[in-house]
């Protein structure tokens, strides 16, 4: 039987663990702090002070602390740092550390690959291998902080995968991350991004999942969104935005982030900007404009700076808070899936025997 992963245990599970080990439940809080807060360079849970011998023995026999190996890393001129992490089964995922305004944001992957199939996303080209567990997502955070030597202030679930296709494990991770005695992130500093999986968004509303919501819209007509985001054929724009309105209403007018990747000649016209204003009317959302980060093999280009500025100006004129987010780490291929793809290509090339 595989050992239970401490990284994925909530307080109730740690209490049960202490009961199984025959020790006081008071040790659950000490374990929780050691797992989620007091890591650093020493990753041996048995070095936690004041753990009774009986509990140490039980932990050694029945549990493990997941510590993914960093198999590749790259750092950009802007300080963005990208890590490729190998999980226990050898599957690799990316996590990105993004500095800014005196704080560090970490972009977390939720799946190995992705099944949504957005045509502008490199991760989608590999398809879905498997979901990540909550323990593996926690391990991404702790690995990132340990390797960087810095405290992460914000978490964004915007890496590899569609978080809401892995709802149960992602919800468990979000609750571990926002547990005041666990990882202790403010719910306002944890953002989950979805391509528009409407039933799972509705479940988020019912479950009152303690995080912010970001929605990757990327088009103003169903015809265009059907083409670049196949999920739209099942959950079209009107249905998606109705669900966003319901989320905003139930969450007390909480602001939702609308992400819009600008693709040259596809969705970046002034007519698109006007339609986006109409779609956003009365919603109070913030719009993030993301000029496409071009990559060989994908059939899209970044719009001209003038087109980006004109698009934003129309939204601002309509009273919509609009921010142009330049891709961090463009010089190190920090867009989702790029480092993993490049490492895989290098490995493949290294196995090729030169012709005689």
Per DSSP, the three-state class of 281 is coil
State yes or no: is 336 an active-site residue.
yes
Cα separation values, 56 from 5, 10, 26, 86, 142, Å: 15, 19, 15, 27, 22
* pLDDT single digits (tens) 50-68: 889 999 999 999 999 999 9
CA distances from 243 to 75, 88, 191, 204, 215 (A): 38, 37, 17, 11, 11
Write the pLDDT tens digit of every residue in 277-299.
999 999 999 999 999 988 888 89
Q: What DSSP designation does 221 have?
A: S
pLDDT (tens, 9 = 90+) of the chain, 356 residues, equals 789 999 999 999 999 999 999 999 999 999 998 898 765 445 677 778 788 999 999 999 999 999 999 999 999 888 899 999 999 999 999 999 999 888 999 999 999 999 999 999 988 888 999 999 999 999 999 999 999 888 999 999 999 999 999 999 999 999 999 999 889 999 999 999 999 999 999 999 999 999 999 999 999 999 999 999 999 999 999 999 999 999 999 999 999 999 999 999 999 999 999 999 999 999 999 999 999 988 888 899 999 999 999 999 999 999 999 999 876 545 545 456 566 556 555 555 665 544 43
C-alpha radius of gyration, the chain, whole number: 22
- Tens digits of residue pLDDT in 308-330: 999 999 999 999 999 998 765 45
pTM of the complete model:
0.92
**How many other β-carbons are positioned within 10 Å of the β-carbon of residue 138?**
26
Judge contact between 85 and 95, C-beta under 8 A: yes
Other Cβ atoms less than 10 A from the Cβ of 352: the count is 7
- Written as six digits, the tokens of 156 are 């964004």
Active-site choice (107, 118, 211, 336): 336
Q: What is d(CA 121, CA 183) in angstroms, rounded to the nearest whole number? A: 30
Distance of CA 5 to the CA centre of its chain: 21
Scanning the structure block, which residue is given the tokens 């986006």? 276
Q: Which of 244, 250, 249, 191 is nearest to 217 (CA)?
A: 244
pLDDT at 48: 80
C-alpha span between 41 and 120 (Å, rounded)? 38
Find the catalytic residue in 92, 94, 162, 259: 94
For the question of residue 140 being annotated catalytic, the response is no
DSSP strand pairing (111-113 vs 128-131)? antiparallel
């Amino acid at each position: 039987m595989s050992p239970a992963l401490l990284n994925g245990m909530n307080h109730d599970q740690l209490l049960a663990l202490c009961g199984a080990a025959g020790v006081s439940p008071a040790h659950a809080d000490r374990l929780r702090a050691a797992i989620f807060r007091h890591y650093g360079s020493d990753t041996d849970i048995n070095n936690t002070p004041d753990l009774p011998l009986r509990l140490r023995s039980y932990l050694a026999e029945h549990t493990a602390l997941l510590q993914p190996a960093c198999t590749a890393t790259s750092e950009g001129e802007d300080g963005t740092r990208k890590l490729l992490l190998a999980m226990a089964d050898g599957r690799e995922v990316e996590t990105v550390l993004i500095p800014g305004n005196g704080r560090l944001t970490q972009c977390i992957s939720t799946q190995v690959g992705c099944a949504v199939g957005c045509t502008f996303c490199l991760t989608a080209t590999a398809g879905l291998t498997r979901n990540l567990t909550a323990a593996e997502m926690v391990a991404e955070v702790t690995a990132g902080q340990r390797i960087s030597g810095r405290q992460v202030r914000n978490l964004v679930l915007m890496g590899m995968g569609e978080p809401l296709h892995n709802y149960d494990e992602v919800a468990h991770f979000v609750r571990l991350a926002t547990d005041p005695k666990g990882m202790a992130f403010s719910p306002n500093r944890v953002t989950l991004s979805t391509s528009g999986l409407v039933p799972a968004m509705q479940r988020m509303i019912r479950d009152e999942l303690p995080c912010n919501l970001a929605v990757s819209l990327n088009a103003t007509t169903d015809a265009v969104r059907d083409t670049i985001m196949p999920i739209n054929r099942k959950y079209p724009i009107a249905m998606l935005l109705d669900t966003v309105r319901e989320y905003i209403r139930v969450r007390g007018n909480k602001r939702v982030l609308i992400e819009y990747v600008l693709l040259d000649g596809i969705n970046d016209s002034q007519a698109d900007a006007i339609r986006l204003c109409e779609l956003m009317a009365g919603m109070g959302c913030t719009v993030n404009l993301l000029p496409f980060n071009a990559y060989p093999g994908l059939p899209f280009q970044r719009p001209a700076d003038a087109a980006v500025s004109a698009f934003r100006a129309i939204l601002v004129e309509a009273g919509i808070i609009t921010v142009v987010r330049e891709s961090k780490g463009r010089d190190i291929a920090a867009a989702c899936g790029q480092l993993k793809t490049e490492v895989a290509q290098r490995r493949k090339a290294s196995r090729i025997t030169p012709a005689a």
